[in-house]
Amino acid sequence: MMPGTTVTVALGTRSYPVEIGGGLLDRAGERLAPLMRGRPVAIVADENVAPHLTRLRASLGAAGLASEALLLPAGESAKSWATLARVCDWLLARGVERGDHVVALGGGVIGDLVGFACAVLKRGCGFAQVPTTLLAQVDSSVGGKTGINTAAGKNLVGAFHQPALVLIDPDVLDTLPPRELAAGYAEVVKYGLIDDADFFAWCEAKGAALLAGDAGARVQAIAHSVAAKARIVAADEHETNGTRALLNLGHTFGHALEAEAGFDGSLIHGEAVAAGIALAFRFSAARGLCAADDATRVATHFRAVGLPDGLAAAGIRASGATLVEHMRHDKKMAAGTLPFLLARGIGRSYLDRSVDLADVERFLDGEPR
């Protein structure tokens, strides 16, 4: 068992700990018990995490807590109105109270979906996150963005609703398919590219080892990423002062690619983010904001770890106009202007409010398919 680390997300009365430690899943019962008031615990998970669910329930049982679980089909398509209704109905049928804490066990899909259900059930009940993908451990379980996708695009219906506790057991990543591990790694690299050039250099040095199963590198990446996200969320919980928007680096391009691919598993979120970040850097270079070498360095690293570095590698053949049409649904859109996360260099990302979508369209049309 590895010694643990705790990062606090500092949000005044809604502050909460993010505990990180090998073997934590088997001690989850004792960590969760203080939230549960002795009531049976409702767990929502997806079918691929069934073995981890068994361990979680055993640990709750050892802490004297009964539990019930709802197992959902895996995949992005579960972030839908239909599955939201299913989760809400299941929790209501078992008598969820505002003071309860529902446990979300799974990747970002389960965390976003269950978090949103908890934001709206009885106008808000509690929840805890037990993330089981690298992406969820380094990003989605922390910070309280919850929601679902709609026919119009990604995450267009949702709420800010913070969990009361996040329990991260890096060992559960041993069962994660390599493709999912790599996708989550894209969000790790993001923190380096936002404002931490040294961390990007660390990724260049250690990323391949991390993806090959180096447990030390994995824990380092998780702890560093969680600390970075906690800092940003504490500075701008509701994405109003430009700080939290930095976490959207690569996402305006990336969400357009995901929407175009159709949420069918052919292009998963982290892959779309990697391609989106590479595009954001190339667009920045084309505008003379950063050196072409910086954009090349970013694309080279993504390619080296098997992540897409643009439209062709992401399998997107759509025109610039089609992709820009997806972008018009972006939640950052303000009075007809879409701010973009661009880069003045590695670790020097910023929110640029001067981008004309016609330029984005021309740039995308010039990208190889």
Ligand X SMILES: O=C(O)C(=O)C[C@@H](O)[C@H](O)[C@H](O)COP(=O)(O)O
Provide the annotated active-site residues. 123, 145, 187, 229, 239, 244, 248, 251, 255, 269
Pattern 237-276, binding to ligand X, x per CB under 6 A? Answer: -------x--xx--x-------------------------
Structure tokens at 203: 């990724």
Query: Which of 100, 139, 237, 260: binder of ligand NAD (CB under 6 A)?
Result: 139
163 binds ligand NAD per the rule CB under 6 A: no
Cα dihedral 332/336/342/344 (nearest 10): -130
> Does residue number 154 form part of the binding site for ligand X (CB under 6 A)?
yes
- Does 231 interact with ligand X (rule: CB under 6 A)? no
107 near ligand NAD, judged by CB under 6 A: yes
Nearest distance in Å: CB 238, ligand X: 10
Axis-axis angle for helices 81-93, 108-120 (nearest 10): 60
Residue 251 annotated as part of some ligand binding site: yes
Q: Contact, 13 vs 216, CB < 8 A?
A: no
- Closest to ligand X by CB, 77 or 296: 77
Residue 225 binds: one of ligand X, ligand NAD, none (C-beta under 5 to 8 A by kind): none
DSSP 8-state code for residue 42: E
Q: CA-to-CA distance for 141 and 195, rounded, in angstroms?
A: 21
Residue 145 in the binding site for ligand NAD (CB under 6 A): yes
The CA distance from 301 to 298, in Å, is 5
**CB-wise, 39 or 331, nearer to ligand X?**
331
Exposed/middle/buried for residue 85 (C-beta within 10 Å: 0-12, 13-18, 19+): exposed
Taking the complex as a whole, the smallest distance from the CB of residue 127 to ligand NAD amounts, in Å, to 13
Cα distance between the two ends of the chain: 47
Q: How far apart are the C-alpha atoms of 65 and 211, rounded to whole Å?
A: 36
Helix (H), strand (E) counts: the chain: 14, 11
Q: Does 187 bind ligand X (CB under 6 A)?
A: yes
Q: Which is nearer to ligand X, 91 or 138 (CB)?
A: 138
Nearest CB to ligand NAD, comparing residues 175 and 354: 175
Q: At a CB cut-off of 8 Å and minimum separation 6, what does 104 contact?
A: 44, 45, 110, 111, 113, 114, 115, 127, 128, 129, 130, 141, 163
DSSP annotation of 315: T
The site for ligand X (CB under 6 A) is made up of 139, 143, 145, 154-155, 187, 244, 247-248, 251, 331
The site for ligand NAD (CB under 6 A) is made up of 46, 48-49, 52, 74-76, 79, 106-110, 112, 132-133, 135-136, 139-140, 143, 145, 155, 172, 175-176, 180, 183-184, 187, 269-270
